[in-house]
Amino acid sequence: MELRVLINRGSLSQTVDAINAAYFYGLTLAATERGQAARWIAGRQGLAGAYGSTFAGFPAERAKGIVLFTGERIASASARHILGEEASRALRQLRVRDREVTRALESAEDGLLRCLQRAAEDPRHSNPGLYCCGKCSVGLWRNLLAGGLDRREERLRRGAAHLRSVRDGDYGWRKFPFWYTVLALSEMDSGEAKAELKYAAPALERAASRSLSSATYARRRQELAARTLNGL
């Protein structure tokens, strides 16, 4: 079996993106591929620039931001946080039994839980399903959906329920990146998540009905729209 190139040695975000793409499209990764990628990601844990002791991007990623799987560009502290959540999710998906990988993932999880605890101490933050902003909240949900962190069911349910209060009247949500949010909601099985996807359905129908694009992110969005509509 020919091994795919998952690791981009100059970009953690692009490495995570390649792993996300493999699982999104149902590709089978060989044990060698999974092991190499997991150990490489684990080696980024706790390095300079890592958010909350998670996984550090490279200088260019910290300076210019990252692009999410669904194509939205994120910068600054949000990029560092989401990259930490997404790298944690990728390691959980890879399911590699390795002492260093396990240690790195546990350290990252401890750091994120400390961040969540500090956020919970702010009286303005009464919803455990949200973090500092919409985009970071979705990053949190993605890690929870892969089995990370704590209070999974409560955080996901209450996070999805919050979206009703920030609907923008145009099938999206204020301050929540549309496609990244749909990506997370599509993996949830709660009534709150289904309600938001039904609200977004007209926008998804428009995307799904367009001619197939040759652009990577547009193709992903079309596929996501079609899958989500089929699940409603």
pLDDT of residue 2 exceeding 80: no
CA atoms of 194 and 198, how far apart (whole Å): 6
Per-residue pLDDT, 189: 96
Per-residue pLDDT, 5: 82
Number of separate domains in the chain? 2
Residue 67: its H or E element: strand 66-67
Q: Are residues 145 and 210 in the same domain?
A: yes
Q: What is the pLDDT of residues 118-152, one digit of tens each?
A: 999 988 889 999 999 999 999 999 999 999 999 99
Q: Are residues 47 and 86 in the same domain?
A: yes
Instruction: Please report, for the chain, how many H helices and E strands are present, in that order.
Output: 10, 2
pTM: 0.96
Q: Are residues 54 and 6 in the same domain?
A: yes
In a domain, 61, yes or no: yes
In a domain, 102, yes or no: yes
Q: What is the pLDDT of residues 106-120, one digit of tens each?
A: 999 999 999 999 999
Which domain-ending residue is among 93, 121, 149?
121
CA atoms of 124 and 130, how far apart (whole Å): 11
For residue 82, what are the domain limits?
Answer: 1-121
